[in-house]
Amino acid sequence: MSLLELIARADERGLAASAVACLDRCLPPAEDGCDPEPLRPLWADCESGEEWAARLDAAHAALETGAGRDATADRVRALLAAAPRDFAAGPLRAWADACSLLALDVHREWDFPAGDGTRTAAACRADGAANDGPLVTGELRRQTAILEGLAGTAGTPGGATGLRRALDLSTEGRRVLRAVVSRRARGCGGPGGVTLT
């Protein structure tokens, strides 16, 4: 099943968690003395959504004071500000779709494309990332695995397991992207030697 199909079929829990995960992976490191996990309040409410609006406010406030001011951080802030305050599948689906595109775009910016690098994020979500670079390919696999895992645990007594797995996958992806960004900033080239899947 393609990533687009998974987004189309996901429930509000899966949509919220996948969207938060996408934003979480794209955040630059927090400034000194600030919350290193500004989106954690949202993770804690993806299961039920009972305090979704309040936790959106808390995450937005944490981002305003803690994240850097580069273009990617600003894009994450803008998408968080656009998040629906109703924990319902309809509005969350559009938001999760936009977060998915952002994450793929950010990974593409830092990638070394295996193909010609001209395919859009929408195209690779529809038919896979066979012709894309390792960062985009890894991000596409990560988004797919998160949505599949959440769908597989929806409505079960072990539902929290799916959220923990989503958080683990997102944390892993954030480490990968930050390692590539750091390596590139030091002038050492691309993601060679870094596990991208």
Indicate the domain borders of the chain: 3-185
- For 149-183, write each residue's pLDDT tens digit: 999 877 665 557 888 999 999 999 999 999 998 88
How far is Cα 19 from Cα 6, in angstroms, rounded to an integer? 13
Q: Do 197 and 138 touch, CB atoms closer than 8 A? A: yes
- For 51-101, write each residue's pLDDT tens digit: 999 999 999 888 887 666 788 888 999 999 999 999 999 999 999 999 999
How far is Cα 166 from Cα 68, in angstroms, rounded to an integer? 24
How far is Cα 70 from Cα 72, in angstroms, rounded to an integer? 6
Query: What would the two tokens of residue 77 be?
Result: 């802030």
How far is Cα 114 from Cα 72, in angstroms, rounded to an integer? 23
Q: Kindly report the pTM of this predicted structure.
A: 0.86
List of residues 6+ apart from 111 with CB closer than 8 A: 117, 132, 133, 134, 135, 136, 191
